[in-house]
């Protein structure tokens, strides 16, 4: 499988071009029955919690789909923490306007919980906006609680 469903800060097309220069974005869609959440606060020495997704009937997560070239796959695994054991890969079905597409996602290898920093949450919302997420989705991201009061400028 070569399709990767990016959520969180990887929704930013420029970020993904830097990580995976041989892997074009091929569309957007939704992972139905999952929700975006945070995990790992304090687990790995990070300042705040990081994005992950968990199964949650009735919810959905906006994603960008990438056709990941094998040259880029190992780099992406490294960047996303698979080789360090922080994240694991799962296969999900992404609902697109052209039908369902199987894709892999990265899911935190630990328990849900914790708050992101305000800076990190801002990065995620900005990335979603750049990827073309609906306004209400971006607004919901921006309204989430954080572990710090405001993004750094």
CATH number at residue 37: 3.10.490.10
Phi–psi pair at 66, nearest 5 degrees = -125, 140
Q: Residue 148 pLDDT > 90, yes or no?
A: no
What own/partner pairs with CB < 8 Å and gap ≥ 24 does 121-125 have? Answer: 121/146, 121/151, 122/151, 123/9, 123/12, 124/8, 124/9, 124/11, 124/51
Amino acid 82: pLDDT? 83
Does a structural domain hold residue 132?
A: yes
Amino acid 43: pLDDT? 60
Helix, strand or coil, per DSSP, at residue 125:
helix
pTM summary value: 0.90
Does a structural domain hold residue 149?
A: no
- From the annotation, which residues make up the binding site for substrate? 4-9, 120
pLDDT tens-digit readout, 14-55:
999 999 999 999 999 999 999 999 998 766 556 789 999 999
Catalytic residue among 80, 112, 123, 152: 80
- From the annotation, which residues make up the binding site? 4-9, 120
> Domain range spanning residue 7?
3-142
- For the segment 71-90, the average pLDDT, to the nearest whole number, is 87
Q: Can 80 be counted among the known catalytic residues? A: yes
- For the segment 110-132, the average pLDDT, to the nearest whole number, is 94
Count up the domains in the chain and report the number.
Answer: 1
Q: What is the mean pLDDT of the chain?
A: 91
Non-local CB neighbours of 65 within 8 Å, separated by 6+ positions: 3, 4, 5, 6, 25, 26, 27, 28, 29, 94, 96, 101, 103
Does a structural domain hold residue 113?
A: yes
For 6, the enclosing helix (H) or strand (E) is strand 3-6
């Amino acid at each position: 499988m070569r399709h990767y469903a990016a959520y969180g800060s990887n929704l930013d097309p420029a970020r993904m071009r830097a990580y995976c220069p041989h892997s074009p974005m091929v569309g957007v869609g939704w992972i139905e029955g999952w929700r975006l959440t945070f995990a790992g606060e304090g687990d790995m020495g990070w300042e705040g919690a990081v994005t992950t997704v968990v199964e949650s009937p009735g919810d959905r997560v906006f994603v960008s789909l990438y056709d990941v070239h094998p040259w880029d796959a190992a780099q992406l695994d490294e960047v996303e923490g698979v080789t360090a054991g922080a994240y694991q890969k799962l296969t999900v079905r992404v609902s697109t306007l052209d039908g369902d597409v199987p894709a892999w996602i990265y899911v935190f290898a630990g328990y849900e919980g914790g708050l992101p920093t305000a800076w990190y949450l801002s990065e995620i919302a900005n990335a979603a906006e750049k990827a073309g997420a609906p306004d209400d989705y971006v607004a919901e991201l921006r309204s989430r609680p954080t572990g710090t009061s405001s993004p750094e400028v």
